[in-house]
Amino acid sequence: MNPLASTFITAALVAYSVGVWGERLSGRLRWWHFAFFVVGLTFDTIGTGMMFDFVGGLTFDVHGLSGLAAILMVVHAGWALAVLRRGDERALVRFHRFSLFVWLAWLVPYFSPMFFAIATR
């Protein structure tokens, strides 16, 4: 596999985590959080594309199917943009709930290869 794929996926984890936890700790969705969501989504897309090239497409295993949860990142970024543009203070303050859910869902495909490698030893 192209080692850059893992680099991009890990960069996605870092960027997405900064956005999600920055939002959670500040208590309000801000534009810079959205920027980190988009950077994380971009890195994830690049890394996933590299992995697809390596394995020849989607694999129908826990990693491949849970990786479809990354589609939530697109929904998340779109919803964050809508909330920021609308400026509804209640939504800006509560948005972190959805962010945390998406981040946790994304961790499953991120860590599943490691867990499966350990289990098969």
pLDDT for the residue numbered 55? 67
**pTM here?**
0.86
Q: How many CB atoms lie within 10 A of CB 117?
A: 9
pLDDT for the residue numbered 37? 97
pLDDT for the residue numbered 78? 97
Query: Helix H segments across the chain?
Result: 3-26, 31-55, 62-67, 71-86, 89-94, 96-119
pLDDT for the residue numbered 71? 82
pLDDT for the residue numbered 30? 98
Q: Tell me the pLDDT tens digit for each residue of 62-92.
A: 666 666 777 889 999 999 999 999 999 999 9
Per the CB < 8 A criterion, the answer to whether 91 and 4 are in contact is: no
pLDDT for the residue numbered 68? 72
Q: Can you list the residues of the chain whose pLDDT is less than 70?
A: 1, 55, 57-67, 113-121
pLDDT for the residue numbered 83? 98
